[in-house]
């Protein structure tokens, strides 16, 4: 090789190497926030789904977690918005509302939200409009179908109490769907709300209602108090419908819930779309396509109830 050619080759390499090094140095590290009531084992489904899509924590992804744990979401939402993140995942309605009130710029992907149109989070499922998209849990289905199951299980039931959390903006919409479903079934509805996180006082008040059936609205704060709620229903022999399956696995009677694992996988795919440039306003909000029925036969026996054979047949999970 002649000297001039060697120098030219070396000079070209000197240009290429720094460019490659700089490209590696400036590779995008996505920064997302995760706002929820409390950590859940279920959240690992979301993290695994992101990994499968190429987002590796500590490499090209940094996730900042904030948990209310019974407190206010407001300061946590302020904190996340101030960090100027690429995207915020908001779990359930209280978290979504807190972030929505603080930013119209940062994309928000909501999960575990009942009726985002009724709550004023989006304009419509097909065309969300603003900076929010994600997954709707379609909670009205739980009330409609779940109460039908409970009425078949307890044909004489006439008084239904609905337990909700005062901080959840989805309660009015959920209560409306429950009342509409309960009326044709001959169920009279009373609503009891946990105020300021005082579950004990609310449960004590429920004992005065002489109820036949209790329905616990799906809510992440109430979920953190599920041990106390389940013990209350068992000790007072109250047949109870839940919207989250963990209640039944831990001693509750019956639950009907959307397939949340699939919803979290889909939420991760929506996050991927937005990080790749899609606008939340143009990404349709998705709904669950499958609901899961869980029944605890041991609890039914303790309550003196006989589960109809057909309910056992259609149940996705039966706990002996």
pLDDT along the chain (320 residues), means of 10: 47 49 65 96 95 97 96 96 98 95 98 89 96 88 88 96 90 87 95 94 95 94 95 98 95 94 96 98 93 96 95 95
Block residue for tokens 């409009």 = 129
Residue 114 confidence (pLDDT): 84
Torsion angle defined by CA atoms of residues 264, 222, 160 and 308, in that order, rounded to the nearest 10 degrees? 50
Residue 9 confidence (pLDDT): 46
Residue 180, phi then psi, degrees to nearest 5: -65, -35
- Rounded Cα distance between 143 and 134, Å, is 22
Is the CB of residue 280 less than 8 Å from the CB of residue 132? yes
Quote the tokens at residue 177: 């769907």
Residue 299 confidence (pLDDT): 97
Residue 10 confidence (pLDDT): 44
In DSSP terms, 135 is beta-bridged to: 286
Say how many C-beta atoms besides its own lie within 10 A of residue 319's C-beta. Answer: 16
The helix/strand/coil state of 258 is: strand
- CATH of region 140-258+292-319: 3.40.50.2300
pTM of the model: 0.81
In DSSP terms, 165 is beta-bridged to: 194
- Rounded Cα distance between 320 and 318, Å, is 6
Q: Are strands 87-91 and 108-113 parallel, antiparallel or unpaired?
A: parallel
- Rounded Cα distance between 214 and 234, Å, is 12
The helix/strand/coil state of 317 is: strand
Say how many C-beta atoms besides its own lie within 10 A of residue 185's C-beta. Answer: 17
| Class of CATH domain 30-136+260-287 | alpha beta
> DSSP secondary structure string, 116-179?
TTTTTS-S-SS---SSEEEEE--THHHHHHHHHHHHHH-TT--EEEEEEETT-TTHHHHHHHHH
Residue 23 confidence (pLDDT): 46
Block residue for tokens 């989006």 = 122
Residue 25 confidence (pLDDT): 46
Residue 22 confidence (pLDDT): 45
- Rounded Cα distance between 68 and 255, Å, is 25
Q: Where in the chain is the domain with CATH 3.40.50.2300?
A: 30-136+260-287, 140-258+292-319
- Rounded Cα distance between 135 and 257, Å, is 14
- Helix (H) or strand (E) holding 180, with range, is helix 171-182
Quote the tokens at residue 318: 């039966």
Residue 26 confidence (pLDDT): 58
């Amino acid at each position: 090789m002649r000297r001039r050619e060697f120098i030219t080759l070396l000079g070209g390499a000197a240009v290429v190497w720094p460019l490659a090094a700089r490209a590696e140095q400036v590779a995008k590290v996505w920064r997302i926030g995760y706002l929820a009531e409390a950590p859940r084992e279920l959240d690992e489904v979301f993290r695994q789904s992101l990994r499968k899509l190429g987002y590796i924590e500590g490499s090209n992804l940094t996730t900042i977690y904030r948990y209310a744990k019974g407190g206010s979401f407001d300061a946590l939402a302020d904190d996340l918005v101030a960090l100027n993140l690429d995207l915020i995942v908001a779990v359930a309605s209280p978290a979504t509302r807190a972030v929505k009130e603080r930013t119209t710029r940062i994309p928000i992907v909501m999960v575990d939200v009942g009726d985002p149109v009724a709550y004023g989070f989006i304009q419509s499922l097909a065309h969300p409009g603003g900076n929010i998209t994600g997954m709707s849990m379609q909670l009205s289905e739980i009330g409609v179908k779940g109460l039908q199951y409970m009425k078949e299980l307890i044909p004489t039931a006439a008084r239904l109490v609905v337990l909700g959390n005062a901080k959840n903006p989805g309660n009015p919409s959920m209560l409306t769907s429950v009342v509409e479903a309960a009326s044709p079934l001959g169920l009279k509805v009373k609503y009891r709300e946990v105020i300021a996180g005082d579950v004990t006082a609310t449960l004590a008040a429920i004992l005065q209602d002489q109820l036949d059936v209790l329905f616990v609205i799906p809510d992440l704060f109430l979920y953190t108090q599920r041990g106390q709620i389940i013990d209350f229903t068992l000790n007072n022999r109250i047949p109870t419908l839940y919207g989250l399956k963990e209640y039944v696995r831990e001693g509750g009677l019956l639950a009907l819930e959307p397939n949340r694992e699939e919803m979290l996988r889909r939420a991760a795919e929506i996050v991927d779309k937005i990080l790749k440039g899609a606008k939340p306003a143009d990404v349709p909000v998705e709904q669950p396509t499958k609901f899961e029925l869980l029944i605890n036969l041991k609890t039914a026996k303790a309550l003196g109830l006989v589960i109809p054979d057909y309910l056992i047949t259609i149940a996705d999970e039966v706990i002996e």
